[in-house]
Each structure stands twice: as structure tokens, then as C-alpha cells.
Chain A
Amino acid sequence: MTKTNSTADFFSRYLKNRLYGRKLTALISAALGLLSFFMYSIVMLNMGKIDETDVDKVYDASRLSGNLYMLVTVMFIAAAVLTVYAAFESFDFYLKPHYTDMYGSLPINHKYRFFADLISGYVTSVLPFSVFTLLSIPITASFAKNQGGEIYTELYGYSVLTLILGLTFLYALSVLAASITGRKLSAWACAAIFSLGAAFLACGCAVFTAACITGFKDEALAGNMCSLTPSIHILKNTLDSIVNYQPFKIDHDVLTITDGILNTSASKAVNVICWIIETAAFIIAAYFLTKHRKAERTGGAFAYKYCYHTVLAIAILTVFSVTATFFYSAGAISYNMWDMLIIAVIISAVIFAAFEISMRRGWKNFGKSSAFFGITCGVIIIGAAAARYTGVFGLREILPQVDEIESVKLQDMEFTDEEDIEKFRENHLTLLKKYGNALSTGNIEIEYKLKDGKTFTRSYQSYRDELQLLPVGLKGYKEQFLNALDNGGWIRDGYVTLKGVFGGARIKTEKFGDFVDVFLDEVNENIGNGKIIGNAGLGLSPDNDGRFARLDIYDSYTKTIEFAKNQDNLIAPENDDEIMCYHLMCSRALFDYRTENVVSFYTDIQKKDLSDEKARELISLMQEYEGSKPADSSDTLWVTCGDEVTNLYVTEENERRFKELALDFINDKLMAQADEIQTAPN
């Protein structure tokens, strides 16, 4: 009786054979993992020396985390190269220039052959590295648990997990590349291009997730196509997304698991899910492409007729994006979509032509590909423009309905009253409609908690003041405001600026509560009524480098104005000795709260239109410099001046005269400006 093997026998035997044949790869991977493990451990041992209260003594947490990122990057690059190599080695017979895929005659069917190749490559490349690197997690945890939270969270696991997930993703992507190509060079090129294409897919997934309102935070938004709303961010953020696949960025933006391995935030989970979906999609695609790959079509650059065009389209899109991003980042062109598109098309066309010529496919094919190039560019341009002018096809203006919302949160202030929620949502929509594309994503977050347990988040950067005004006027604002100050560690302190009072006067600490009572009551009652005649900056950060909120004061706020004019409630500078620092800003105000008695000066003073004698003398006392600040300049008279005249300083010998002039000048200018304060917008 003839002895026969079952299908499972063939699979296991073939797998064993493939694994045995890749022992060298496995050894290298294990060695890399072991090296990674030791390097992590060394860093951990050094961590014991850190004293965060005295960062100069050894080295600080950020420096350590920087070293770690460097380490992670080096190890990731080495492991990534090995992973891609292993994937191509596993499917090597597809990538050898020969006449026919003779493996077809062997007694193993396509399905088992694919999975055996897939597993053998993974087991010999990603797995050994991962296992040895994973050993560093318990060590990390044991050494890091007594250190600061930042180090602890950075070291505890997620970077390692990122490595493993990243390598798995890369492996799947390389397998897909191998399944459609017939040469190693093409496979490497495809892997590179696909990784860029995968970034697009990740963006698409993220946008889709946002549309489904499943919880979407700033980090996720920052690297995806939602960001194209303000302008041509589709290009810039494409590069961002690509970069996100590197460990530095992965840790921070894509896959940060901030509270340990198991406790993932929604945005991070979204990215992890996107990654897993992509990985699975690549493997499924690779399986079917390999299964239906014709044995006779080997040795060419691509196993499938249309692969060349597909890869070319992704390449064009990528070159297009990278080119535009480069020019944008380098500041070579203005922040204008059409300028960028034109330059991107030109550069892409040159690179495309060079690529086509190098492939030596003949003029006939060049003509066909050129048409394809044109169509691809056209689609990109239309897509970018459509997204630009429709607010990502209306997605930007989607907000949950009032009856879906349980609460809304802005800057640690949370509102649960239905009336408040409705008004807040209304204000939010008004803001979206008012600023449209100019409302870029950023770090001011608005979070709608929905009744079904999901979270809808939007974050913005521009128009900070107006964003802060969204909840003003809501019934619960005052209570939430004070809670937010306390919960956020802000100091209950503030400044009030009224017309005629330069730089504002600081409210006495013991009077702050009274001021808030008066002010916020009037805000709730009279917001928008009358003229803006000043503003109040409420709540200071512990190191005085920022305010929690700056709210306008209208002339209808009579009690507030009365309070602010009462010198008993204020601390104000009385003589020039109290002036420790000046900021001379030409176009916009920046505040410097390095000392308690700060006088900040902001006006439209510029060299070219100086008419005031005092101002001219004041300017003449300041020196321009290039590069770093001169050694003899005074820190206390550190001066910055606007857009056209920048980087000024005052020498020690001119310091006294500068102070005298500045005080006079400030008073004169302020009185002149007092009547020019703008009225509030409707």
C-alpha cells in the first residue's frame, strides 16, 4: 500500500523545512532582540541615578527619554530592515528571475505554501526580536516605578509594544509587496511605496472613525486628513502620517499608550485598530494575489499586469505629497494651495519621467503612463480642492445632536445642563461657520460625551480667545470656571486691563474671589452688550507664564469696571524701579510674567513711522543683533520688537535712560490709544 501524506503533513513538513532554512535570520533577529534587551537594561540602571529635583546633577528625564528614543529608533531600523529582508526571503522564489514558478509542481497547494512561507518569515524575523525585547518590560517596570510619571509611562512597555506591532505591520506590508513583484528590487521599492500608501489608508480609517463619532482626539487628528481643512494639509499631514510610523512619532502620536499597556486612550486605540486592520488587509490581499499569481509570469518586475500602474499611482501621490510638504516646510512657497499644487505637479512630473525612462518601457508605454500620471494628478488636485472647500466634505461641521449629548467639556470645564449644552453647541457651530477653513486643529479640545458612552472630540489651535468664550454666558460657567482653576492647578489670581491702564493691573490675591463674583455674574448677564473697553486675564499658571482665560470687559459691566478702578483692589506699578522687564511688541501682545511686577508694553511703534521724539530716542537706545544675544545685554531689559524690527536689546549703560523714556512713552501712547479700542463683534 502506498504511503501518502495528508495535507496537514505537507504543511508542517514544508513549514519545518522553511524554518530550518531560515535559522540564520532567526539568529540575527534574536541577537538584535538580545542587544535591545541589554541596551534597555543599561538605560534602566542609569535611571536609578536620576534626581528630578536637581536636573543638573545627573541628567534629566527628557534627556533620558531622548536616549531611549534614539535607542528605540536604532533598534527599530535594524529590526525593520531584517523584517523586510525576511519577508522577501520567505517568498524568495517569487522574486528570482527565472522562467517558471517550479514550486507549483511540489505537493503543496498554494494556500499552505503561502501560510508556511508567511509564518516561517515572521517566526524567524519579528518573533525572536520581539521575545527578547519583551524581556525588557519587567525590568523597565521594576526600575522605573519609582521615577517620575513621564519616564515611567514612556519606558513601561508601549515603546516595545510599538516595535512589535510596527514590525508586524511592516512584515505584512512586505509580504504584500512580494506577492505582486517578480524581482527583489521591485519588491523593496514596492515595500517603500506601500508603506507610504498605508499612511494614506491610516488617515482614511481615522477620518472614517471620526465620522462615526467613536472618539477622536487631537493626536489622531493631527496626523490625518481631517487636518486638510485649513489649507493644503493633506500634503503636509501625509508626511506627518508617514513619519508617524517611525518610533519617535509612533510613541508620541500614533501608538502612545499613555497609562500602560492595557489602559489605552480612545485615540490611541483607534490607531492601534487602524494598524491591525491594515495588517490583516495586507495579509489577506497578499494571500489572494499569491494564490492567483500565474506561475508563468515570473522574473518580471511585476506579477500582475496592472500592478505597475497601481504602484505608480501611489508613488505619484507620495512624491506629490512629499514635494509639496517639503516646499511648504522649507518656506519656499507661500501658504497657498494652488502654488503648492503647481510646484508639486512639476516636481512629480520630472520624477515620474525619470522613473519611466529608467524602466525602459518604450515610448508607447510612456505615453500611456503619462496619461495615467495626468489623471492621478487631476484626481489629487480635485480631491484636495474639494476637501479644502467643503471642510472635508462637511465632516468639519458635524457635531452631535443635543439629545445625543450627555455633557460637553472645554478646558476642564464640564457642562451637563441641557440648556447649557444646547447653547454651547450653538456657539460651537457659529464659530465653525465663522472661521471655516481658518480654524486649524490644535491643542484646545472640546469634548462631547455622548449618552451611548462614546466621545466626540474636536480640537483647535487658532482663535484661542474666542474658543474660550464658547461657554461664557452658560448657567454653569462660573462654578465650572472656578472648579477648573482649582482642579487644573491654576492660581486664583488675575489681571485686569481697562482703557488708559497700560499692561493691566494685577488684582490683589485676597480680592480675586470678589472680582470673579462680580465679573462672571456680569458676563453671564451682559456678554456682548456695549463696547469692549478692556479685558480680564483670570487664573495664572504656577510659574506665571500663562493665563487660563482672557475675557473681554464691556462698558455695560458697570460693577466690574467700578471694581477694577478701585486701587484698593489692585497692585499697580508706582515707579520705574518696579519695572523689571519690557516687551516692545509691534504687532501683537505677548506677555511675560517672569516677575511679579511686570509691565508689558505693546503698541504699533515701528522705526519707519516714528514721529514721537521720545519714541525715536527710545528706539535709538536699543541695539539690533543677529544670532544669539550679546553677552553685555541686560536680561532685565530684554526687548522684542514686532515683525519688522526684531531682536533688540538694551546695553547696561543705556538701561536707566531707557526705563525713564519707556515709562513716559508708555503713558503717552496708552492715552492716545484708549479711544481706539474696538467694539465687540456681533
Chain B
Amino acid sequence: MTMKIPYYPGCTLNTVAKGFDATAREAALKIGFEMEELKLWNCCGATFPLTPDNLIALSAPAKVLSNARKEGDTVTTLCSVCYNVLKRTNKVIKDDKEKRGVINGFIDSEYDGSLSVLHYLEVLRDKIGFARLKEAVKRPLKGIKAATYYGCMLLRPFEDIGIDDAEKPTIFENMLSALGATPVDFPNKIECCGAHLAMNNTDVVEKLSGNVMTSAVDNGAELIVTSCPLCQYNLEKSQKRLIEERPGYTGVPVVYFTQVLGLAIGADINTLGFEKNEYSIMPLLHRKGIVAGED
């Protein structure tokens, strides 16, 4: 029987980043598990409040967790931010009895923090195993030098998230290796893209994301892989300035890891949402002979 895993998509994956969601679901089926969307869910709040007194901001993610608990003992996410917010909120509710009482009071619930919050990457690593994933690969991404961009929310703070080493993570690289690609290590892979400053400080975002891109490209990256819609957005948008300022720079595709996952395990190329990317991955796939066609 197919393993069913309760799944929380979050707002962005339901709208702007639909491709992220669809490719993850399809890839899961091909690998041998099913992402079962929660029956009832709401926005997680998109940021974990950094001040410990701001309990009201935890009510939204707490409600997600409380409802999810009624459907099982785990919940999986794809978006790095949702993952960060849900996992940290869960920890607060689990470890801090006093706060648990207050938060439950806000949302009229008795949730105790007993849910385990997983990232899709963790499911692949710990429940499926990268070795098994490798066996499922039909279209190995041979020759593609892919840079893995972790950003912030997938890793920090280490004591709350703990998915991987906070300074030298490898989970992304290991997944890409399983898919046959060549992971590219680069210094900025855990540095911020500028995040929500995209709203009012594009200068800073362009600088930060630009640094990420140039550092990846300088280390040989032909493709950037990420797990956060906001990172993906910022990394794409920042390249306009790079193209203007850096001679010879023509733009590098920035895709979700589930898109390359789907590609590697043989999903229909037209279902992977590549057309939505500002810088197309197709020429690269043609060049490497992974997908037939011309540049």
C-alpha cells in the first residue's frame, strides 16, 4: 500500500508557486508515497515571531498544527518558511507549558505539540532513503552542475530546526547526487536572499541575491535549486541587474528541487512548470542531452 503523508501546502504553493506543489505531489507518487493535503488549513503567518512575548502571532501556525494533529501524527511541508514557522511553533507548544496554555486559549484547542513536522527533503532522506530514490531515477541529470541554495529558514536556528548541520549542510547535495546531478558547493549557499525586504528595499535584495547568484555561478553552477518560493523569486528578479552590470552574464535558471526531482524520475517535461521560470532550464537540458531538442 502506498504510504500516505499528511501535507500542508501553505498559501504560496496554492497560488504563485503552484508548480512547486504539483511537481512534489507527482514525484511522490512515482517514488512511492502520497502527499495527502490536510482537509483544513490556513496561512502559517509567513514569519516566526522573533520576540518570545508575541504569542498571538503563534495562533495561526498553532491552528494549522492543531488541525493537522486530528489527521495524523506528522505533517509535511515544502516551503522553507512554512516548515520553519510550523516546526518552531510546535517546539514552543511542546516545551513550554505556560505558553501552550495561552496559545490554546487563543485558538480554542488542546494541542500538545505531539506532531512531528517534516520537510519533504526529510521524507526523502529518512523515510524513503536517497539510495532508493536513486533507483527510481529514470532520467539522470548527468553533467548538470547544480548549486544548492539553502537560504536561512531551512536551517536556522539549528537547535529548533535541526534538519542538518547549520554551517555545512549536505541534505540537498545528497539528494541532487542521487538524481545524478553534480552538486556545486558555494560560499553563499546559507546566506540570506533578502527575503521580505523585496517589498521596500529592492536595493538590498538585489545585492544579497546578486551575491548568491554570482557566488554560485563563479563556482560553476549552471542551475540553482531551492526550496523556498521567496528565495526563488528574489534570485530570479535580482538577475536583471546582474545581466546589465556583468558582461557575459545571461541569467541562470532558478528552480524548485521538486522540479528537478520530477525531471529525474521521468515525469512529463511539460508538467514540471519550467515555463514559469524567468530563465529557462530547457537550453541546459538540451545541451546536456537530458531532453531532446535544440537550444
Binding between chains A and B: no
Interface residues of B (CB under 8 A from A): none
B-binding residues in A (CB < 8 A): none
